Amino acid sequence: MARIPGQYYPVLAQGHERTAPRDAPKPCVVRRHQLDEITRIIVYTVCAGACIPLGGVLAKYERLRPSWLENEFRHSVIAFGGGILAAAVALVLIPEGTEYLDHSLSSTFFFLFGGIVFFALERFLGLQRREKPQFTAMLLDYIPESLALGGALAAGSRAAPLLALFIGLQNIPEGFNAYRELKAAKQPDASRILLLMLMLVPIGPVIGILGWVYLGDRLALLGASMLFASGGILYLIFQDIAPQSHMRRHWAPPLGAVLGFSVGMLGNNLAGMY
């Protein structure tokens, strides 16, 4: 069980009974703190995960005419999601992960390892003819980010709410594009696609609580998880997201990436003010 920040853990001398100082938190207070932390994790991860089917619903009812405008809008949404992912990597995951590892050289190893593992997963899916770039990217970054979020909350990181915000913001365009991708691939009807997306929502709380339990008092492992996720996400940005956002003789999609990163910068600046 992860340690609670600020909780007293007495060291027992041989032959002495356990004695707690007068100002030690009572068991009921500790349990209440734990429940509050678990509640925060559930609320953060459910809200972030709910943005996946929200993006799918927007894609279901969004129709723009003429067709070139709809095409450009879709590519801009892809780029916007990539910009937010880049902001999450550059402003939260890498700085926090490197700090938890005391800026050691191993941080580079875990970052590189994450990129290699995500490459291997995509390669495996490609050989199985099951590649769905947008859906795969959405799922692959949602799981490690939820794990890092739970660990960050247990460690008392001030960046945890910002990370939750990033996860939710990026899940909207990822859900939007994943729905379009599955629909274009002649997958089941719209209601089944949205049901599949709804089934992904509970994954966040489960993974987040696992991170809270196992990573809160293991800061080196938490940092390694953040950097692993960073390497994988950066691979997905350049392998799947950036190429799909490009359109010849159209300049709006790259601006969507800049806008997405700007949203991340704004959130980071606001978090630093409080």
pLDDT of residue 155: 80
Q: Which helix (H) or strand (E) holds 118?
A: helix 106-127
Q: Note down pLDDT in tens along the chain; length 274 residues.
A: 444 444 434 444 444 444 445 555 565 655 666 777 788 888 988 998 899 999 888 887 766 555 545 667 777 777 787 888 888 888 888 888 898 888 888 889 999 998 899 888 877 776 555 556 667 777 777 888 888 888 888 887 777 888 888 888 888 888 888 888 887 776 567 788 888 889 889 988 999 999 888 887 788 888 898 899 888 888 888 877 666 655 555 556 667 677 777 877 776 676 665 5
Q: Which DSSP symbol is given to 25?
A: P
Peptide bond into 66 cis (omega under 30): yes
Q: Output the pTM of the full model.
A: 0.74
Residue 220, CA distances (Å) to 96, 110, 148, 234 in order? 11, 11, 12, 21
The sign one gets for the Cα dihedral 162, 78, 143, 223 is: negative
Q: Which of 99, 75, 113, 188 is nearest to 152 (CA)?
A: 99
pLDDT of residue 104: 81
pLDDT of residue 270: 67
| Residues 10, 156: Cα–Cα separation, whole Å | 21
pLDDT of residue 247: 56
| Residues 271, 88: Cα–Cα separation, whole Å | 13
